[in-house]
Amino acid sequence: MAFSIALAGKGGTGKTTLAGMLVKFLVRNGKSPVLAVDADSNANLNEVLGLKVSDTLGNAREEMKKGDVPSGMTKDIFMSMKLEQAVVEAQGYDLVVMGQPEGSGCYCAANTLLTAFLERLRNNYPYIVIDNEAGMEHISRLTTSNVDILLIVSDTSRRGLQAAVRINELTKNLNVGVGKSYLVVNQAKDGLSEEALKIVKEANLEFAGTIPKDDMVYEYDLKGQPTINMPDDSRALRSAFNIFEKIINE
């Protein structure tokens, strides 16, 4: 069974960049192949990883719902073929993009096939990294396996920390089994203030550490360069690797 690590957090906290760093960490430490899943409707994990995406799982689901199945091909075979085509292969890891949420109408049959495909797919990888929107509904809707680690990413703001607390509470109320939740504070100039630490402590959310603000991350993003290619002297990358080492090997 694959070991799954999901990332969540409010917009602008850098969770997708952190997801790319996590993929890099796992590959470098011999835990490949890794399956990266972009479950954010505003998909951009492929940009962080430097990959081109030609299709999404959502597109495959839409085509099946519309009945765009070639004559002589069953829906099961068609869906399997389309979903296989949606997997982007890279060195040490693969990427699948969920795509936009479905429109109106019944998606029951298509969702059933999609869920079955993801279950088969995940059995081929020892580690899975899932980049999510704030909230975990898409995991409970599209997969049946539990999440071993949930990394909740926040910035140093009070609103960011409160959003992290709400996400943690939401996972407890949804039909999603989370092995362990950790808070990672990104883009931090200094350590957390006493007030911030109080918010985290009262929420009973384990604090994994901070990742400093790093101009290199901003420069790579501004130039459209994949942040997964940042060199090892990146302050953010070093701090992220230290956090990953602690929580995965704990």
Tracing tokens 């939401």 back to the chain, one arrives at 170
**What residues are paired with 206 via a beta bridge?**
182
* Distance in angstroms (rounded) separating the CA atoms of residues 211 and 110: 40
**What residues are paired with 35 via a beta bridge?**
94, 128
Distances (CA, A) of 193 to 31, 56, 153, 200, 224: 35, 42, 17, 11, 33
Tracing tokens 């302050």 back to the chain, one arrives at 235
What global pTM score does this model have? 0.89
Domain count, the chain: 1
pLDDT digits (tens), the chain, 250 positions? 789 998 988 888 999 999 999 999 999 999 999 999 888 777 899 999 999 998 887 887 788 777 778 888 887 888 788 888 889 999 999 998 887 666 665 556 555 666 677 777 878 899 999 888 765 555 555 443 578 999 999 998 888 898 888 888 877 777 667 889 999 999 998 777 788 888 888 888 899 999 999 999 999 999 999 999 999 999 999 999 999 999 997 6
DSSP secondary structure letter of residue 149: E
- What's the CATH number where 149 sits? 3.40.50.300
Tracing tokens 């020892």 back to the chain, one arrives at 126
The domain of 39 spans 3-248
* Distance in angstroms (rounded) separating the CA atoms of residues 132 and 15: 9
* Distance in angstroms (rounded) separating the CA atoms of residues 82 and 59: 9
